[in-house]
Amino acid sequence: MKIDGGDTDTPRVSPPSASSTPTPADVPVRPTLRQRLAAWDVRLSPYLYISPFFILFALVGLFPLAYTAYVSVHDWSLLGGQGDFVGLQNYREVLENPYFVKQLVNTISIFLLSSLPQVVIAVTLAALLDSQLRGRTWWRMSVLLPFVVSPVAVAIIFGSVFGDRYGLVNELLGAIGIDAIPWHTDRFASHVAIATMVNWRWTGYNALIFLAAMQAVPRDLYESAELDGAGRVRQFLSVTLPMIRPVMVFVIITSTIGGLQIFAEPRLFDETTARNGGPDRQFGTITMLVYDFGWQLRDLGRASATAWMLFILICVFALLNYYVIRRIGLLGGDDR
Amino acid sequence: MRHKVRSTQRGRLALGAVTALSLAVLTACGGDDGGEGDTDGPVTVTVATFNEFGYEELIEEWNADHDDIKIEQVKVGTWDDAKANLYTKLAAGSGLSDIEAIEGDAMPAILAEADAFTDLTDAELDGRWLDWVAEKATNSDGQMIGYATDIGPEGICYRADLFDKAGLPTDRAEVAGLMGTWDDYFALGEDFVRKVPDTAWYDSSGGVVQAMLNQVENPFETDDNTVAVDNPELKAVYDTVTTNIEKGLSTRLAQWGDDWVASFQNSGFATMACPGWMLGVVEGNSEGVEGWDFADVFPGGGGNWGGSFLTVPAQGDNIEEATEVAAWLTAPEQQAKAFAAKGTFPSQVEALDSPEITGASNAFFNDAPIGEILANRAEAVTVQPHKGPKYSDILTAFQAAVLRVDDGSQPADESWDQFLTDVEALG
């Protein structure tokens, strides 16, 4: 979309023409001060309008990022403060830490278990909400209710519901004859429980984003598809999904970034006093490792190193996502 | 995009936006309602506690009698959550309450942070506390950093109704005769679980770990604070606790977790190591359950688990008032009232002899004379374990090692090796 400055009184510098004052063709028109300022205004003002965001980002985003890198190459204690310069030693210590690889695998596992079902269910939900339901507004509002609840409250309650011995889920499973599942002890089961919490919170939110995108799809496309004999499902797959590609890219990328940083849910799911993701770190994530190094072991150097490695991991995943999406043609021809 | 907005309307929109934004910024910058001056309005002193200190009625009493200083309590569930908050806010330099309660095991690490806490030394309070308790709160420069609140002499809480089911004696004195040593206690447990198959003997392996570790002279560190976890006494405790797991004596639950709390209501276990402050916790979790009693015995003679201190962080705004409040809260009379409320046994010398303590009894625990029992158990304490600055962190790793065996994710020997690696990684 072009920004049209149609209503301002910016004079366009136009080549000499028959309608203006006749001047010799080889004498250029000298713009007045006002005209020059106006030209600068058109060129610079877009950058000025977006600069507050970037200034703020530089202060609260870019500077902490750089400062964390600075902290990560020093020996830095939480209460003692800055120590000696140690180069990449903190990174080496983190990579050699017995729990690092385990928590990395946990992070990726929880991410996949949460993001993939989330996107699929959200798209389906949005398609259902887009149809002519009764009480449409009520359904659309209530789908956002789980998002409104505090994640800490959700984690505490779900932690109790998924209790290994006296939890509600195991009681219900017992009632239909299935053995109790050790939700806190078994590695995969704990990932499923935490992914359930995350999905519960974010599916409605993503569904509404998809719904907004679907409502922008012109209705006559559906009409012509119906005339061509396509059923509801075929219409969904061939008309709706291709038309909401850009929004799907957005949702997948934000889910990736959020899904690799999960902290509150696993931390409160753990009922041991240390809250490190279980006694064997079976559901500890990388963000929890950052907290463990920084605030339990009180070593900010190692915590910063872990934080930077998480940052690099997220960048890698985001790029991977981007290339995969491009390969399977989600970006299609309108690559802006 | 609407290109046809007229300039006057756009001007008004812009003015409105700027006004709203500046109002928002002014509100954000202008809000500052903390710290009233001494001359106008009462000073609020915040006290941060965890678990159950028994201060609720005391605070009401103070607030009714005083107009110039008002107390407000901030409660957290466990010491570990309070510890996380404490260290975060210490590093941030602000945000702590005026008085912070610290658990006894963490005092050595706190004493090492010399500048962060106010020196509370007061000649008038000399001799108020038991010697070994006052020592715990005194740093290497001779300054007293904390005022002791309670100590944790342990007895055995038991479910008389479950004992009856197993055909075991239920009378307090008789039960006391059966549990004098750890071997006797565990043997009785094996007998119990055979007769009552679905119930464990004690509430958690973690509780027994605490009870046994508090009878070892140097569990994790030598007297000069060198970390030495690969020692025979610690290994013996570990082996005993993990062998009991196989015998079914443990509920295999994590202490303080949701399932552990629920197990009180579901008759998950029959006995428990109970320091004074645990009595309030048991009562709270076992609402509606009848049959609890408290025996004047502890395997191994006696042990002390816990006991806390009130400290005044140096970053606070109301240091003088907070010191005054802390001294009042830890006075013998007040601690005796806290004991009556939640069973937190006094660390103050005068309180130990007072009739309120010696004559106290607890209706929930079958009218057990808890004052007398706890006083006897306190006298039976022979060992004060040496706890250095890393004690808290190593204990967390040790409890995690036992829990891994509890929940079946690792065999005992592998879990022990992982514990040793964890302690090394503490740096």
- Over residues B389-403, the mean pLDDT reads 92
How confident is residue B33, by pLDDT bands cut at 50, 70 and 90? very low
Q: Is A28 a residue whose pLDDT tops 70?
A: no
Q: How far apart are CA B102 and CA A35, in angstroms?
A: 71
The pLDDT value recorded for residue B4 is 54
pLDDT category, B206, cuts 50, 70, 90? very high
Whether the pLDDT of residue B232 is over 90: the answer is yes
Once rounded to an integer, what is the mean pLDDT over residues B113-126? 89
Distance, CA of B79 to CA of B49 (rounded, Å): 9
Shared domain check, A43 and A139: no
To the question of domain B154-301+370-425 being in CATH 3.40.190.10, the answer is yes
- For residues A41 and A129, state if they share a domain: no
d(CA A72, CA A293): 12
CB neighbour class for B231 (10 Å; exposed up to 12, middle 13-18, buried from 19): middle
Q: Does B427 touch chain A (CB under 8 A)?
A: yes
The mean pLDDT value of chain B amounts to 90
How far apart (Å, rounded) are the C-alpha atoms in residues A304 and A71? Answer: 6
Per residue in A115-129, pLDDT tens?
999 999 999 999 999
Burial grade of A198 (CB within 10 A; 0-12, 13-18, 19 or more): buried
Residue A15 reports pLDDT greater than 80: no
Any B CB within 8 A of A275 CB: yes
Inter-chain residue contact B418 with A167, CB threshold 8 Å: no
pLDDT above 70 (res A208): yes
Q: Among A163, A88, A99, A32, which residue's Cα sits nearest to residue A296?
A: A99
- What tokens were used for B185? 């206690």
pLDDT at B286: 95
Residue B103 DSSP code: E
- A56 and A188 belong to one structural domain: no
Listing DSSP states for A75-125 in one string gives: EEETTTEEEEE-TTHHHHHHHHSTTHHHHHHHHHHHHHHHHHHHHHHHHHH
The average pLDDT across B24-43 equals: 58
Q: Which residue has the higher pLDDT, A55 or A23?
A: A55
CB atoms within 10 A of CB A230: 16
Chain A contacts of B404, Cβ < 8 Å? 279-280
Domain check: are A49 and A164 in the same one? Answer: no
User: Distance (Å, rounded) from C-alpha A104 to C-alpha A101?
Assistant: 5
B322 vs B316: CA distance, rounded Å: 9
Whether the CB-CB separation of A78 and A297 falls below 8 Å is answered with: no
Half-sphere exposure of A293 (CA within 13 A, CB side): 27
pLDDT of A333 reads: 45
* Residue A21 pLDDT exceeds 80: no
| In-domain check, residue A209 | yes
Q: Residue B326: how many CA atoms within 13 Å on its side-chain side?
A: 33
| Domain residue spans of chain B | 43-150+307-358, 154-301+370-425
**A147 and A44 in a common domain:** no
Indicate whether A288 belongs to any domain.
Answer: yes
B328-384 pLDDT per residue, tens:
999 999 999 999 888 899 999 998 888 888 889 999 999 999 999 999 998 898 888
The number of beta carbons lying within 10 Å of the beta carbon of residue A33 is 7
Statement to judge: residues A201 and A253 lie in one domain = yes
Residue A243 burial by Cβ neighbours in a 10 Å radius (0-12, 13-18, 19+): middle
In one-letter notation, the amino acid at residue B399 is Q
Can B43-150+307-358 and B154-301+370-425 be said to share one CATH topology?
A: yes
Q: What pLDDT is attached to residue B168? A: 94
- Per-residue pLDDT tens digits for A117-166: 999 999 999 999 988 888 888 999 999 999 999 999 999 999 999 999 88
Label residue A20 by pLDDT band (50, 70, 90).
low
pLDDT exceeding 90 applies to what percent of chain A?
68
Q: Looking at the structure, do residues A52 and A191 belong to the same domain, yes or no?
A: no
> How high does pLDDT run on average in chain A?
88
Q: Given a cut of 60, is residue A331 above it in pLDDT?
A: no
Per-residue confidence (pLDDT) for residue B288, from 0 to 100:
92
Q: Does A102 touch chain B (CB under 8 A)?
A: no
Query: Are A45 and A115 contained in the same domain?
Result: no
Residues A51 and A143 placed together within one structural domain of the fold: no
Q: Does B225 score more than 80 pLDDT?
A: yes
What does the pLDDT read at residue B356?
85
Whether residue A17 lies inside any domain: the answer is no
Give the range of the structural domain holding residue A53, as residue numbers without chain letter: 33-61
Cβ of residue A9 closer than 8 Å to a chain B Cβ: no
Q: What's domain B43-150+307-358's architecture?
A: 3-Layer(aba) Sandwich (3.40)
ipTM of the complex, rounded to two decimals: 0.79
User: Residues 139..168 of B with a Cβ closer than 8 Å to A: which?
Assistant: none
With 70 as the cut, is the pLDDT of residue A6 above it?
no
Q: What is the mean pLDDT of residues B156-175?
A: 94
Which residue has tokens 């004047």?
B296
Q: Does A151 touch chain B (CB under 8 A)?
A: no
CB contact under 8 A, A78 and B422: no
Q: CA–CA separation, B279 vs B154, rounded Å?
A: 10
Record the pTM. 0.82
Q: At what angle do helices B56-65 and B332-342 cross, to 10 degrees?
A: 140
Residue of B nearest to A159 (CA): B258
Whether A77 is in a domain gets the answer no
**Is A44 within the bounds of a domain?**
yes
> Looking at chain A, which residue has its C-alpha nearest residue B400?
A279
**pLDDT, position B16:** 73
Residue A312 counted as domain residue: yes
Residue B17's CB is within 10 A of a number of other CB atoms, namely 10
A8 lies in a domain? Answer: no
Q: What tokens were used for B88?
A: 């975060």
| Residue partners of A92: CB distance under 8 A and separation at least 6 | none
Q: Is the pLDDT of residue B320 over 90?
A: yes
Among A20, A45, A61, where does a domain finish?
A: A61
Nearest-CB residue to A163 (from B88, B259, B393): B259
Would A12 be classed as within a structural domain?
A: no
The single-letter DSSP state of residue A294 is I
B260-268: Cβ within 8 A, 24+ apart: B260/A271, B260/B203, B260/B204, B261/B285, B262/A163, B262/A165, B262/A166, B263/A165, B263/A166, B263/B203, B264/B289, B265/B289, B266/A166, B267/B159, B267/B162, B267/B199, B268/B199, B268/B200, B268/B203
Angle at B13 between CA B12 and CA B17, to 5 degrees: 115
CA angle, A300 then A304 then A306, to 5°: 120
- The 3-state DSSP class for residue B72 equals strand
Region B372-400 average pLDDT: 91
* Domain identity same for A166 and A110: yes
> End-to-end distance of chain B based on CA atoms, in angstroms?
60
Number of domains into which chain A is organized: 2
Answer whether B193's CB lies under 8 Å from B248's CB. Answer: yes
pLDDT band at residue B28, thresholds of 50, 70 and 90? low
A78 interaction partners in chain B (CB closer than 8 Å):
87, 91
pLDDT value for A329: 64
Q: Is the pLDDT of residue A251 over 90?
A: yes
Show the DSSP H helices in B137-287 as ranges: 160-165, 172-178, 182-195, 205-213, 232-246, 258-265, 276-285
**Contact across the interface for A160 and B258, Cβ inside 8 Å:** yes
